[in-house]
Structure 1
Amino acid sequence: MNKFIDWVYNYYQNRKKSIFFLSSFWTIYILFNIGLYTLEIKSYKDLLRVIINYPLWGLFVFVPNIFILKYFLFRRKYIFAILGNILILILFLEIRYLLNFHLFPLLDVMTPYDNKPFVLNVFLSDSGYAFLNNLLLAYGYGFAKHAIELEVRERKLVEANAKLQHQKDMTQIAFLQAQINPHFLYNTLNFIYSEAIMVSDSVAESIMTLSNIMRYTLTETGKDTLVSLYSEINHIKNYLKLQKMRFSNELYLDLTIEGEENINHLEILPLVLISFIENIFKHGDIHDPKNPAKIIMLIEENSLFLSIYNRKNKGPKEHTSGVGMNNIRTRMDILYGDKYNVNIFVDTEDEFALEFTISDMEEAFRNLKKYKLINR
């Protein structure tokens, strides 16, 4: 039950703006129809029919069809859309029948069927017309909202394209200015490794781990805009391994990864996850065996959940070269839109806890491909 409440709360927090516009639109529509019916309404009880009907049709027809449009029709899952509308229609017919032939007569509210025998064809015809009105209204709202979102997203991605190209140019200039050939660097590290292995296995292993980290950071993340989730997680493991060697294994951090069988076919923006991990070493107390830092990662077929908890360090902060939270949010906003969320739910003097979620891992690839930022 708590998980469901948390899901509802997170869903609301992530979609507050959409829920507000949807609620406002339907409220205005109800008030508009009450205004139209004012001339026909003879009493309070007749007004009650309008007040009861329209919120129910919004709840059981309008809102469900917004979801069907978003999750089925826009994704070309037409069979699911048809089945969903059949279920909604059946529910609509049952509710309308109970209202007009049971509830409204008890309340002495006028209905189109007063003093008339129940005729199935007439009832189905009237209900079909009412259902179609609400269905078309939902689709009109949904298509208009979708068109506006696409326009906004396209504008952001065009701006992002220019920013990414500028960053790419600046990065290339920085590499040229550094005048360091990665191959020279790796060859040098390999030479040092071959020399160190004869002296100390632990030193040699540290050198090789550092070489793997630098290879990933300098070459793998520069090949394409996205990297495999497998590579990103392997990079995190190498980073943690090197840190443990650095602190002579007196580093108290628990890493839990569930769903690793799903990482081979997923891709992610590079160096995003490692930035969250680096913040643990920058701000966290990782030397207290009673309060180890915790990293929990849950990977599903097309989604990722990362949870981080650590006690805060009271002494000097560890310096890192992470891209920073603001940079992460900017990059994620551009490519993932509303498909990701960063929730810092604990940030006190002593503790820090964060949850990072990507609900649709394929969103970045779709946007990159659409705007030709990726050659695949």
Structure 2
Amino acid sequence: MLNRTADTQKRTSWASREVSTHVMIWVLYTIYFSLLLHFFYGEPITPKFILQAIVYRIGDAMLFYGLALIVLPRFFSKSKIFQLILSFLILLGLYLGWRAWIEYILMPWLFSTIGTKIAQMISLTIFNANTYVMFSVGYFFALKSIKQQKEIAHQEIAIAEKDAEIARQDAELAILAKEKTLAEMAFLRAQINPHFLYNTLNMLYSKVRGASKEAGNIILTFAEMMRYATSTRMQQDTVDLEGELDFVKQYLELQRQRFNNNIFIDYEEQGDFSYFRIMPMVLITIVENSFKHGELHDPESPLQIRAILEDDILTFSTWNLKRKDDNPITDKGQTGIGIDNIKKRLKVVHGDAQELSIIDDKDDYAVFFTLNFNYNPNGI
């Protein structure tokens, strides 16, 4: 209620200022026009002269505002062309009547003057009317243009506010998604006590290395893997790419030992990986899926793993034949993190700089992962 009252008072104040401005303009114009008549045409400044100046300007103002504020706003359209012409003629007739009343009634009654000839009075009236009609039309279009500009400005402000709200909501959703991902990772890590696990593996290594060097090496390799997987570095958004590839190679070696070198893996690296960082546990998850789906006992069709870094773009790919049976070589989901989870996390951490695609055919299973370390979303 208070806001409505304040708005009403504000509009009333603005209208009063506008009316005062218009009145002042007409007063100054009347004085200016009268001075021109006095200095250039020798018209003496008398009560009659002053009264004529005032009443004629009143008629001019009625024509000006009648056309600009009443006739044109109501009838300026193709569908109302007849009403527009008729209204304009009526307004012009009123203007002519006003000037005739001044010329033949008011002035003779007050000053006993004789009016000019009717033909001369009509021609002068039409001449004056042309001037104020042009001013009036210009004023009407100026008001219309200002109104349109204000509407456009209001629409642009509304659109900008809506875009800002959408951006704010998107930012909140992104934050929530990232927090959810971090919470999921924290939950997965919390399921393993890293110190207890690592110390237990070291104890087992010390117990069995004397009896079986091979078993000791397996335990040692697995212990190193667990130390890396459960380290505080895994809590960061990104880790060293070189460390992730070492983790993958340790995993491959562990699998070879587990199956007595009866699996066939073709692993190849190209590039210097020491200067780049990547989201943790991506590469190992891709490799684990190859073990889960792959037939790795055929020496003619080994598991192919490629890690290529060229022009600051990492391409990590795997290819393998699919098994005919339903039993995976490794336990399903050893890391506890699947491809779907990896895709969500990659979107949060690396955005559009990465791409992960899977080819799952009848006989083949392949994964292609690319990461552009120079990607700039603004294209700069």
> What's the TM-score, normalizing by structure 1?
0.51
Unaligned stretches of 5+ residues in structure 2? 1-162
**8 Å Cα contact 1:340/1:358 also seen in 2:** yes
Residue 368 of structure 2 corresponds to 355
Which of residues 354, 372, 375 in structure 2 aligns to 1:340? 354
**8 Å Cα contact 1:157/1:334 also seen in 2:** no
Q: Which amino acid aligns with 1:320?
A: G
Q: Which amino acid aligns with 2:179?
A: Q
> How many Å separate the matches in 1 of 2:357 and 2:367?
6
**8 Å Cα contact 1:302/1:362 also seen in 2:** no
**8 Å Cα contact 1:213/1:239 also seen in 2:** yes
> How many Å separate the matches in 1 of 2:274 and 2:164?
30
Which structure would you say has the larger Rg? 2
Residue 267 of structure 1 corresponds to 277
Label 1:203 to 1:349 Cα distance change in 2 as closer, same or farther (>3 A). Answer: same
| Mapped pair 1:295 → 2:305 | yes
Q: Which amino acid aligns with 2:221?
A: T
| Mapped pair 1:325 → 2:334 | no
SS where residue 274 of structure 2 aligns? helix
Label 1:276 to 1:363 Cα distance change in 2 as closer, same or farther (>3 A). Answer: farther
Deviation at 1:348, TM superposition (A): 1.8
Residue 261 of structure 2 corresponds to 249
Q: Which amino acid aligns with 1:280?
A: S
Residue 296 of structure 2 corresponds to 286
> How many Å separate the matches in 2 of 1:291 and 1:258?
21
SS where residue 265 of structure 1 aligns? coil
Q: How much is the aligned-residue C-alpha RMSD, in angstroms? A: 3.0
> How many Å separate the matches in 2 of 1:214 and 1:248?
21
Match runs of 1:1-376 below 5 Å: 156=170, 158-169=172-183, 171-172=185-186, 178=191, 181-259=193-271, 261=272, 263-300=273-310, 302-318=312-328, 319-322=332-335, 323-344=337-358, 346-360=359-373
> How many Å separate the matches in 2 of 1:151 and 1:197?
63
Larger relative contact order (CA 8 Å, sep ≥ 6): 1
**8 Å Cα contact 2:237/2:349 also seen in 1:** no
> How many Å separate the matches in 1 of 2:195 and 2:188?
17
Q: Which amino acid aligns with 1:328?
A: I
Deviation at 1:171, TM superposition (A): 4.9
Label 1:251 to 1:173 Cα distance change in 2 as closer, same or farther (>3 A). Answer: closer
Residues paired across the two proteins, number: 213
Deviation at 1:161, TM superposition (A): 2.6
> How many Å separate the matches in 2 of 1:238 and 1:154?
44
Summarize deviations over 1:262-311 as a string: whole Å, max 9, x none: x1110000011111100111001001111111011101352200121110
Q: Which amino acid aligns with 2:202?
A: N
> How many Å separate the matches in 2 of 1:151 and 1:236?
44
Unaligned stretches of 5+ residues in structure 1? 1-148, 367-376
Deviation at 1:215, TM superposition (A): 1.3
Label 1:279 to 1:361 Cα distance change in 2 as closer, same or farther (>3 A). Answer: farther
SS where residue 298 of structure 1 aligns? strand
Label 1:279 to 1:172 Cα distance change in 2 as closer, same or farther (>3 A). Answer: closer
> What's the TM-score, normalizing by structure 2?
0.50
Deviation at 1:331, TM superposition (A): 1.5
Q: Which amino acid aligns with 2:176?
A: A
State the percentage of identical aligned residues. 32
